[in-house]
Amino acid sequence: LARLKAVLRRQRGSQPPQYFLAGKLRLIPSRREVSFDGKTFELTTCEFDLLEALLRSRDTVATKDDLSLSVLGRRREPYDRSIDVHVSNLRKKLSAISGKTIEVETVRAVGYRLKVTA
């Protein structure tokens, strides 16, 4: 168990990636730039942070509570639908630019996950 923890710690401490890739989608946090197939496109601040958080969590489900904390900077109230609204807007933009190859998957009652087809 100690070994495992050490490995995990090393992994966490390792250099964060310069950019995130998902299919043809590339997001560069330091330049706040996101592009699909080489073409950059516009996202609002919230949508960008949301996409980054989704890319960061990779295959694991990003819970709404975590997203609220990391994207909006506040704890989620049970009635708060802000994340859902931003996901919906992001989803529209992504499907428009990527032709449905990159989608935001809803995991019922828990959160969201990025899904890449093709």
Partner 1 sequence: MRRPLFVKIFLGVCASFLFVTYFVWFEDSLLKQSPSRTTAVQAQIALAGASSIVRLGGEDALRKELTTWPKERQYMTFERIDGKSAPAPDPVHGLYTATVKDSQGRSFALLYHVTRFDGYVSPPLPLDMGPHAILGTLIGILVFSGLLTFYLTAPISRIRAGFGRLASGDLKVRLGSDWLRRRDEIGDLAADFNKMATRLEELVMSRDRLLADISHELRSPLARLHLAIALARQSPDKALQSLERIGCEADKLEEMVSELLALSKLESGARTSDQYFFVSEIAALVVDDARFEAQEKGATIDFVTNGRGSEALVVGSGKLISRAIENIVRNALRFSRRGETITVELDSTAAGTTLYIRDQGPGVKAEQLESLFEPFVQADPANGQGYGLGLAIAKRAIVAHGGTISAVNGATEGLTIILWLPAAPDAPEAGDEAKSVWDRSVSPAPV
**Residues near partner 1 (CB under 8 A):** 77-82, 84-85, 87-89, 91-92, 106, 108-109
* Residue 70 or 82 with smaller CB distance to partner 1: 82
- Taking the C-alpha atoms of residue 115 and residue 31, their distance in angstroms, rounded to an integer, is 24
CA distance 4 to 20: 26
Considering only CA atoms, which of 70, 75, 64 is closest in space to residue 113?
64
Cβ nearer to partner 1, comparing 35 with 106: 106
Q: How far apart are CA 61 and CA 113, in angstroms?
A: 5
Provide the pairing of β-strand 111-116 with 62-63: antiparallel
As measured in angstroms, the least distance from the Cβ of 41 to partner 1 is: 18
- Closest contact distance (angstroms) between CB of 49 and partner 1 is 14
Name the minimum Å distance from CB 91 to partner 1.
7
Of 31 and 92, which CB lies nearer to partner 1 in the complex structure? 92
